[in-house]
Each structure stands twice: as structure tokens, then as C-alpha cells.
Amino acid sequence: MKGVVFIGESRTELREFPDPQPGPRDVILEIKASGMCGTDLKGYREPFIPGVVRGGIKRSMEPVIAEHEPCGIVVELGSAVTGREARIGQRVIDFHYDGCGVCRHCMAGWRQMCADGAVVFGSVAHGAHAPYMKVPVESLVTLPDELSFETGAAIACGTGTAFGALQRLSLHGDETIAVFGQGPVGLSVTQLAHAMGARVIALDISPERRQLAAELGADVVLDPMADDPVQAIRDLTHGEGAEKTLDASSSAQARAQAVRATRAWGACCYVGEGGEVTLEVSPDLLRRQVTLIGSWTFSNVGLADCARFVADRGVDVDRLFTHRWKLDQAEEAYQLFDQQKTGKGVFLPAS
């Protein structure tokens, strides 16, 4: 089979790989949809250095099949997989991490925090930009019948990450949330927060992404380059600031603004990966009793909860997708995605 790999310095290749064979506790998925995640841009842009550790995750020695937003159908079972765990034809989302399975993080469903080191599909092991993918049976989450495979791929990382962050923020329907950055994760935050009944202020420097945010439920969209965003948010909230804020941009300036736009006793969540931020601890945090939270993806239970929420509330996650691609269009797809002006992209390997 052919799979897309990142070879570094903003280049991709479509390479030939053997069809995957399941181990005793594995299943083989036929990939129906494989999303594009903003965190992959780092591996796409930078030189490929075998075995290097980035963000606590060790890279493979050779480029592996890219991407970690898999959704598809179970087509083959390992010899030790029982019918209660998986069945042929089952529609599933894959929780894209593996670990030792016995440490306290793994036992709680947080395999990405495994004490022995996590395996991340698409980074250390083969990912989803291919027709088939081998995954541990424990990583499967059933895709509700009401949801498309594209929606499942979004939930597998970007939308699931947004849902996990909103859960950590304990967002209430009578609150205002300001969302800095309207890439795929920020747009998902906007869409889910709207579905939860909150008032959403969406900020992004891209007019295309601000328009998408408005279409997905933002009550107000702001260009942070046009005016002081902190003052603008305070003006929209009777001078107090938003009860909840979230940064999905990874911009140092936006991160500081998100904290300063949070009202007294409110909470700010950082979701965007990498980078730095400088804060004045006393005026920005301590003397306003502001809670600062870091949120990294979700547990396997949280992934299932997100899928159920989207299905029960009828959230049209497919609207996040502005582009659909075939595997042989990977070069064009990632060049466009790297401009960070579009919504979410998805690969449909069978098309």
C-alpha cells in the first residue's frame, strides 16, 4: 500500500509500504478519513532527524506514515482479540496513543502520559494517511452511527482536544468565552462552546478564519491586529473580561492577552502547543485570582464522551472541513494547510 510521509523541510512523499499485519492484540483498520492536525506542521516544516525527542515524544528512526486522526472500519482481528472488544465491520475512531497499559496514567485512559513513554501514531508508529492502519484493540472508540467518518477523524484529535479543554474549564452556558486562534482546534472550541450555550468571542488574524468562526457559532469575531483585544473583550463584557478564555494559537502575545482578558476569579486555558509566554504574575494572575490551566488532548473515555456529545447535540462537525484530499494530493494539501488560513483538511484514502 502507499502512505504519506513527512520528510522534513515542508516536503511530503507518497511511499510504498507493506500491508499491515495484526499482532495478537491488534486490529487492522480500513481508513475512511484521516484528518490534518496543526501539530503536524512542526514535523512537516522541520528537518527530519531520526530518533530526536520533541515535546517529550521520540521520533522514529525512519519516516513513518503520517497523521494521528484515524477513523474507519475494522477489517481484520488479531488472534487474541475477542468479539466483545471488536468486530469486523465496526465503525471506529482510534485513540492515537499507546503505552505500557499498567502505569497509573495508562490505567486512567491517559496513555499519552505513560510513565514508560508513549507511542504516538503518525510520529513513532505508522499513522492514518494510508488505506490501512494497525492499532491496538484497546485504542478503539466506537463511532456513533449518526456521525460521518470525517467527523470521527476530527474528534480523534482536534475536536476531541477542544472538548477536553472545555471540560477542564468547566464552561457554563451563561458564560462568555474568548477563543484566541481559529485554526482547526480553535474553530472546534468555538463550535462546541456555542453548542454548550456559551457566548463566544472568536479572535484570529486571518479574515478567512474569522468568517469560518462566525459561521460556526461565534457571537463576536475580532481581529487582534486591528484593536487592543483585551480592551475589546472588556468592552463586550461590561468592563470585567470574559469568565473563560482559551488560547489555541501558540502565540506568546495571544497567550498573555488571553490571561489579561480573563475577569477576576475566571479561568484561562492553554491548548496551543510549543512556544513561550511572559506574564506579570501578581497583576495578571495572583491579585485577580485567575486560574491558568494547561490542557493536552483527552483520555480515551473523554474521546468517547466527545463523540457522544456531538451526536446527541447534532453538532455539524463536518462544517469544519474546507478541503478534502486524496493521498496523491498530499504535497498540495500541506502547502495550503501550512498557510494557516483555511479550515480543517481531511484525507479520504479510498477516494
For cell 463566544, the residue is 200
Distance CA 93, CA 143 (A): 6
Residue 337 to residues 254, 298, 326, Cα–Cα distance (Å): 21, 24, 14
Q: What share of the chain is helix, strand, coil (3-state, %, to 5)?
A: 30, 25, 40
Q: What is the pLDDT of residue 54?
A: 57
Beta strands in the chain (DSSP E): 2-6, 12-16, 26-35, 53-54, 57-58, 70-77, 91-94, 97-98, 119-120, 132-136, 140-142, 176-180, 199-203, 220-222, 242-247, 262-270, 291-294, 321-325, 344-347
Model-level pTM? 0.95
In this prediction, residue 55 carries a pLDDT of 53
In the predicted structure, residue 50 carries a pLDDT above the cut 90: no
Supply the pLDDT for residue 309.
98
Predicted confidence at residue 48, as pLDDT, reads 81
pLDDT at 191: 98
Average the pLDDT over 58-69 and give the result.
Answer: 83
Give me the mean pLDDT over the 139-143 stretch: 98
pLDDT at 62 (0 to 100) = 82
Q: For 351, what's the count of Cα atoms within 13 Å in the CB-facing half-sphere?
A: 14
Say which DSSP state 191 is in: H
According to the model, what pLDDT value does residue 70 have? Answer: 98
Backbone angle region of 9, left / alpha / beta, with phi > 0 → left and psi within -120 to 50 → alpha: left
What is the pLDDT at residue 51? 63
Average pLDDT over residues 264-284: 97
- pLDDT at 323 (0 to 100): 96
pLDDT above 60 for 331: yes
Q: What is the mean pLDDT of residues 106-126?
A: 95
Q: What integer is the mean pLDDT of 146-155?
A: 98
Place of cell 490501512: 132
Is pLDDT above 80 for 343?
A: yes
Q: Which amino acid is it at 124? A: V
Percent of the chain with pLDDT over 70: 96
Question: Quick one: which of 63, 30, 29 has its CA closest to 46?
Answer: 63
Per-residue confidence (pLDDT) for residue 40, from 0 to 100: 87
Q: Encode pLDDT of 13-24 as tens digits.
A: 999 999 999 999
Q: What is the mean pLDDT of the chain?
A: 95
How many C-beta neighbours within 10 Å does residue 265 have? 11
One-letter identity of residue 37: C
Asked whether the predicted pLDDT for residue 95 surpasses 90, the reply is yes
Indicate whether 60 pLDDT > 80.
Answer: no
Per-residue confidence (pLDDT) for residue 94, from 0 to 100:
98
Closest CA to 183 of 55, 322, 45, 44: 322
pLDDT of 193-248, one tens digit each? 999 999 999 999 999 999 999 999 999 999 999 989 999 999 999 999 999 999 99
Can you give the pLDDT at residue 49?
A: 73
Residue 53 pLDDT level (bands cut at 50, 70, 90): low
Cβ(73)–Cβ(125) under 8 Å? Answer: no
322: helix, strand or coil: strand
